[in-house]
Amino acid sequence: MNIFEIEKASEELKKKIKELKEFSKLQNIDLSSEIEILENKLKELQRDSFKNITPWDKVLLARKIERPTSLDLIKRIFDNFIELHGDRLYKDDAAILGGIALLEGKPVTVIGQQKGKNTEENIKRNFGMPHPEGYRKALRLMKQAEKFKRPVICFIDTPGAFCGIGSEERGQGEAIARNLFEMSNLKTPIISIVIGEGGSGGALALAVGDRVWMLEHAIYSILSPEGFASILWKDASKAKEAASLMKLTAQDLLDFGIIDRIIKEPIGGAHRDVDETAKSIKQSLVDELELLRNLDIETLLNSRYEKFRRMGKFLE
């Protein structure tokens, strides 16, 4: 069974449990032991399904339409979030949102790539694929954060930067490059969290952080598995195979030293309990920002530089 078949089986179990509960209430019969057996079975099913989860399962989970988006998490983690729009150069890109907020009473700048919850919203959000103006808005807000000495928190969730005529005309490459360049030396702490899909340079453009974290079932890669398979094997249908080879899971990337931390998701995935997911992220953020705020800026910037400087495998 893959995770979605298991999910279907657990939905059926849940329905049965609910029916039993209603029946016992209505008829005033004690069915608690039967219910308990079913509940345990449900837990076991969900736990087992995630024991053997494949990289491809994670790709599907990361892209799941029910998965919490940046906005779902921002609303739960921060107080007084005020969204700020536009790059001051061309327009406002709905695929990246940003603004200012409080985290446990302390000011922060929050930026996130935003996917839609349905087709209509996805069209507005361009399926979370930013144009150059999205990256330039993000950079504007980061520079603003630097000025007012508040940390930057980035939520990453994109299939990749958009590939189209307008994005080329307005310099997609330049916009991403500029973010990498400026973020590498932005004089305020940056924490980046991959919450769903971390696709290519379009994800990296928000991920040059002091800390880079991933949700347990998020993915982060050079390209989508479909793109990888079609470039290297001229066959996009081999995406499943590509997903295993690419080492795109949070666990692989932690082993490689590409990310610093995995934030656990509720059993069944982040969409099963968005409040719980948000709570875990919030706790990590509060603790880590406390630490980062206490570093002097030179130490912070040197260790950010060294962090990315070390990445790469070669023979001397």
Partner 1 sequence: MINLFKKRQYVTVPQKVDKKEEREEKEVKVNIPDGLFTKCDDCGKIVLKEDIEKNLMKCPNCNKYFRMTAWQRIKLIIDEGTFLEYDKDLSTLNPLSYPDYEGKIKKLIDETGLKEAVVTGEGKIKGTDCVIAVMDSRFLMGSMGSVVGEKITRAVERATEKRLPVIIFTASGGARMQEGIFSLMQMAKTSAALKRHSDLGFLYVSVLTDPTTGGVTASFAMLGDIIISEPNALIGFAGPRVIEQTIKQKLPEGFQRAEFLLEHGFVDLIVERENLKETLYQILLIHRG
| Residue 315 binds to partner 1 (criterion: CB under 8 A) | yes
User: For residues 248 and 278, which CB has a smaller minimum distance to partner 1 in the complex?
Assistant: 248
Rounded CA separation 78/171 (Å)? 33
Tokens read off for 222: 């050079």
What type of residue sits at position 58? K
**Binding partner 1 by CB under 8 A: which of 21, 41, 140, 170?**
170
Question: Could you tell me how many residues of this chain bind partner 1 (CB under 8 A)?
Answer: 50
In the complex, minimum distance from the CB of residue 256 to partner 1, in angstroms, rounded to a whole number: 7
**Binding partner 1 by CB under 8 A: which of 172, 192, 224, 277?**
172
| Residue 167 binds to partner 1 (criterion: CB under 8 A) | yes
Q: Are 201 and 176 in contact (CB under 8 A)?
A: yes
- The interface with partner 1 within residues 184-203 (CB under 8 A) comprises 184-185, 200-201
Rounded CA separation 18/151 (Å)? 45
Rounded CA separation 284/35 (Å)? 36
In the complex, minimum distance from the CB of residue 252 to partner 1, in angstroms, rounded to a whole number: 8
Alpha helices in 163-296 (DSSP H): 165-169, 172-183, 200-204, 225-233, 239-246, 250-255, 274-293
In the complex, minimum distance from the CB of residue 91 to partner 1, in angstroms, rounded to a whole number: 16
Rounded CA separation 56/1 (Å)? 13
User: For residues 46 and 188, which CB has a smaller minimum distance to partner 1 in the complex?
Assistant: 188
Closest alpha carbon to 158 in 100, 247, 93: 93
| Residue 204 binds to partner 1 (criterion: CB under 8 A) | yes
**Binding partner 1 by CB under 8 A: which of 16, 39, 144, 308?**
308
| Residue 182 binds to partner 1 (criterion: CB under 8 A) | yes
- Residue 97's Cβ-side half-sphere holds a number of Cα atoms within 13 Å equal to 20
User: For residues 17 and 207, which CB has a smaller minimum distance to partner 1 in the complex?
Assistant: 207
Q: Are 119 and 251 in contact (CB under 8 A)?
A: no
What type of residue sits at position 225? P
Tokens 């995630």 correspond to what residue?
50
Candidates 101-109, 111-119, 141-149, 219-227; binding stretch for partner 1 (CB under 8 A): 219-227
Closest alpha carbon to 70 in 5, 132, 157: 157
Question: Residues 81-94, buried b or exposed e (16+ Cβ, 10 A)?
Answer: beebeebeeeeebb
**Binding partner 1 by CB under 8 A: which of 75, 91, 178, 261?**
178
Q: Are 292 and 151 in contact (CB under 8 A)?
A: yes
Closest alpha carbon to 94 in 163, 9, 26, 162: 162
Candidates 37-45, 76-84, 175-183, 276-284; binding stretch for partner 1 (CB under 8 A): 175-183
Candidates 4-12, 146-154, 176-184, 278-286; binding stretch for partner 1 (CB under 8 A): 176-184
In the complex, minimum distance from the CB of residue 236 to partner 1, in angstroms, rounded to a whole number: 10
- The interface with partner 1 within residues 244-273 (CB under 8 A) comprises 245-248, 253, 256, 258
Residues counted in the chain: 316
In the complex, minimum distance from the CB of residue 128 to partner 1, in angstroms, rounded to a whole number: 14
**Binding partner 1 by CB under 8 A: which of 221, 224, 277, 280?**
221
Residues forming the site for partner 1 (CB under 8 A): 161-165, 167-174, 176-178, 180-182, 184-185, 200-201, 204-205, 207-208, 220-223, 228, 231-232, 245-248, 253, 256, 258, 305, 308-309, 311-316
